[in-house]
Amino acid sequence: MTAYDELMAYQRQTEALGRVAERLGWDQETMMPSGAAEQRSEEMAAIEAVLHARRTDPRVGDWLAKVSPTDPVARSQIREIQRTFDRASKVPARLAEEVARVTSRAQGIWAQARAEDDVAAFAPILTEVLALRREEATAVADGGDAYDALLQDYEPGTTAAEIAAIFDAMRPRLVSLREKVLDQQAPADLDGHFDPTLQMALTKDVADAFGYNRNRGRIDKAVHPFSSGSGNDVRITTRTSDRDPFNCVYSTIHEVGHAAYELAIDQAYALTPLGRGVSMGVHESQSRIYENQLGRSRAFTGWLYEKMRTRFGDLGLQNADAFYAAVNKVRRGYIRTEADEIQYNLHIMLRFDLERALVAGDLQVSDLEAAWNDRFKADFGYAVDRASNGVLQDVHWSVGLFGYFPTYALGNVYAGCLNEALRDAVPDVDAALSQGDASPATDWLGANLQRYGSLRTPQETIIHAAGFSPRPEPLLNYLETKFGALYKL
């Protein structure tokens, strides 16, 4: 065997063990009994110790020093292995294990604190998580910016300064559009009680419409919807609300977008570094284009309207146009995952600035709730009513995902670019969507982006699919056109 062959055989086992860790995480969110939390934290720490040892094994460094492939796929494999090896080698094994242990425990504490609106109960463990991630970031940054070091885990090659510049360019047009829309008469809402069992049945219709292969996945419920897995085992979760079935429907479509990306990756890349999404921003581009540009379109909502009337009976809306307006209603609200397309990115900008301050040490956990509430009031014009609608609403900080939030907004920017290219390339998208068939769109995304996994860098991935460098204008133009028509601006 060549050095490259030996390295890839070794890497295959590392990737497989990583998938086992993902299954443990999925189980913790969906099936695990609450009394198992402490034991699960030890299990997660143990498997992270094994993974860290494999990622930093000196043999990996030796193999990397010996290989110089000319094949583009092999070069990309080496790029990803080298990046992981360099990062992991800077983090002490003790620290990697402790991060896994503490974040596993913190997740359960956050869920309980959120249910009880008790920030004080969550603050000590969050302080511990933040300290560990700061220590990790300092080690990885090697004298550079700690937040930039954390960003590389989610969007390689991007800096906080670049993201801030994108956000600064987006904010004025988003705020202006929001103000114009909220000055108009709001459309009517759905009216009725929506049986959670029927909602879960509807998720299967919706997932099927977007091509989710349930032979290689499953749909369950969780407090915070997510997608987990890659290759031939990619699972999603959703949640239900008796009064708001859109929460369930669009959480499902969003997570199907993530899952579809993983399921579409070339099987030749399975259990290799290329066999997963290249970044969280690119991943989010798939979930957001599925959810918004496709799932909230007038074409698809016409089909969904009939599906929901069959499931639930009268919806309290007079026709499919009123249903489309209700799906896309812009309203005051606290929850990021329930935010309309205009305001969603404003939620992300708030979190981005707060977590940068936390990592830099300019903001302490003890002051976080007040800082959140002050910023929310300034950005949205009204006060947070309770912690579960404010600083406790997201799971991310409890599990140490500092640097993750900005990738949501980057995903929206990427999705805007992809939507523009998709509609130029596949002009009959809406005709198919009106029949509950997203395949012309999802096939295009599969062929032009998803199947390549991590073959290219994040920026190269979007350029290859869209035909131009990512920029916010396509997203902003789409939003102004869509909501301008909806609200007769």
**DSSP letters spanning 94-142:** HHHHHHHHHHHHHHHHHHHHHHHT-HHHHHHHHHHHHHHHHHHHHHHHT
446 within 8 A of 439, measured Cβ to Cβ: no
CB atoms within 10 A of CB 227: 24
Q: Which residues does 285 contact at the CB level (< 8 Å), separation at least 6?
A: 410, 411, 412, 414, 415, 418, 462
Positive or negative torsion for Cα 388, 392, 398, 403: positive
Three-state SS for 357?
Answer: helix
- State the sign of the Cα–Cα–Cα–Cα dihedral 462, 458, 348, 113: positive
| Integer angstrom CA distances of residue 44 from 26, 37, 39, 41, 85 | 12, 10, 9, 5, 20
Contact 40, 46 (CB under 8 A): no
Structure tokens at 278: 């290249």
Greatest C-alpha distance within the chain? 70
Residue 337 tokens, joined: 């995952």
Domains and CATH numbers, the chain: 3-144 (no CATH), 160-486 (1.10.1370.30)
Q: Tell me which of 29, 48, 136, 255 is the catalytic residue.
A: 255
pLDDT at position 120, please?
A: 98
State the DSSP code for 185: P
Residue 320: which H helix or E strand, with range? Answer: helix 320-327
How high is the pLDDT of residue 1? 85
Q: Which residues of the chain have pLDDT under 70?
A: none
DSSP 278: S
* pLDDT value for 376: 97
What is the 3-state secondary structure of 370-433?
HHHHHHHHHHHCCCCCCHHHCCCCCCHHHHCCCCCCHHHHHHHHHHHHHHHHHHHHCCCHHHHH
Among residues 110, 158, 129, the alpha carbon closest in space to that of 388 is found at 110
Supply the pTM of this predicted model: 0.94
CA distance 226 to 283: 12
Give the Cα separation of 348 and 370 in Å (integer): 18
Residue 29 catalytic? no
The tokens for 300 are: 């698809």
Element (H, E) at 220: strand 219-221
Q: Which residues are within 8 A (CB) of 81 and not within 5 positions of it... i.e. 6 or more apart?
A: 7, 11, 60, 64, 273
Helix pair angle (58-66, 72-89), 10° resolution: 150
Q: What does the pLDDT read at residue 222?
A: 86
Question: Of the candidates 331, 232, 299, which has an alpha carbon nearest to the alpha carbon of residue 436?
Answer: 299
